[in-house]
A and B are shown apart, each in its own frame.
Chain A
Amino acid sequence: MPETHELVLTISHPNGLHLRPAALFVRTAAHFHSAITVRNLSRIESHSVDAKSMFGLMQLGVAEGHQIELHSIGVDATAALLALQQLVASDFEEQP
């Protein structure tokens, strides 16, 4: 049974969602079957991108302090956003 889930997170990493943090974000998102999109609420012109696309995340220009809105739909939608929430909360510590 597909579920949908939404979440707003604040990025506190000094590099924002760039390179290493973005790579970890994509890799975490890719573990899940659900479709996950991200939007940067701190940029007016920002559109939604695929959370499993590094290129998409780069286009969001997420800097330190920016808020991102996540939306997921699928069988593991809630678990997916929980994992991303934990990644952001850990300030992108290396995952084992």
Chain B
Amino acid sequence: MIGMLIVSHSRKIAEGVQELAEQMGQQQVLIRAAGGMSDGTLGTSAEVIHAAATQLGSTPIDGLLVLLDLGSAVLSTEMALEGFAKPFVISDAPLVEGAIMAVIEAAIGGDLERVAAAAERTKTLRKLLG
């Protein structure tokens, strides 16, 4: 099974996306949130992300999909995952939409490529249908 890591500048956003995705995946998919700085303020921290990733890395996941919000989240995540022992993809997808599509794909046993693709496709998802 593929695990998921949610990275945001805000701890609340990361935990909220985790909560939503866990419910959509009926708690079958391992998800960790890494939001904000270690003191709870807004920002992204390679240290916080590394700690969450390490937790996931010690579980029997086959790979990791990382979903993030914007800007420094990318750099912090790249630093935090340097040397990560399992295959991982840092997704370019929108955070909430990507997490929901990815968790469903992960829950039905999709591999990392499929789970990452499910998230990526949300870039073209239309919310308002005529």
Contact = CB atoms under 8 A, between A and B. Distances in A.
B108 A52 contact: yes
B56 interface: no
Contacts of B100: 19, 23, 54
Given A26-B108, A27-B108, A30-B108, A55 B101 contact: yes
A17 B71 CA distance: 34
B125 A55 contact: yes
A55 B122 contact: yes
A61 interface: yes
A59 B24 contact: no
B129 A61 contact: yes
A54 B104 contact: yes
Give the contact-size bracket for chain A.
10 to 19
A79 interface: no
A59 B104 contact: no
Given A19-B100, A23-B24, A55 B129 contact: no
Interface in A24-68: 26-27, 30, 43, 45, 52-55, 58-59, 61
Interface of B: 23-26, 100-101, 104-105, 107-109, 118, 121-122, 125-126, 129-130
8 smallest beta-carbon distances between A and B, as pairs: A61-B129, A30-B108, A54-B104, A55-B121, A23-B24, A54-B101, A23-B104, A26-B104
25 contacts: A19-B24, A19-B100, A20-B23, A23-B25, A23-B107, A26-B104, A26-B108, A27-B104, A27-B107, A30-B108, A30-B109, A45-B130, A52-B108, A53-B118, A54-B101, A54-B105, A54-B118, A55-B118, A55-B121, A55-B125, A58-B101, A58-B125, A59-B125, A59-B126, A61-B129
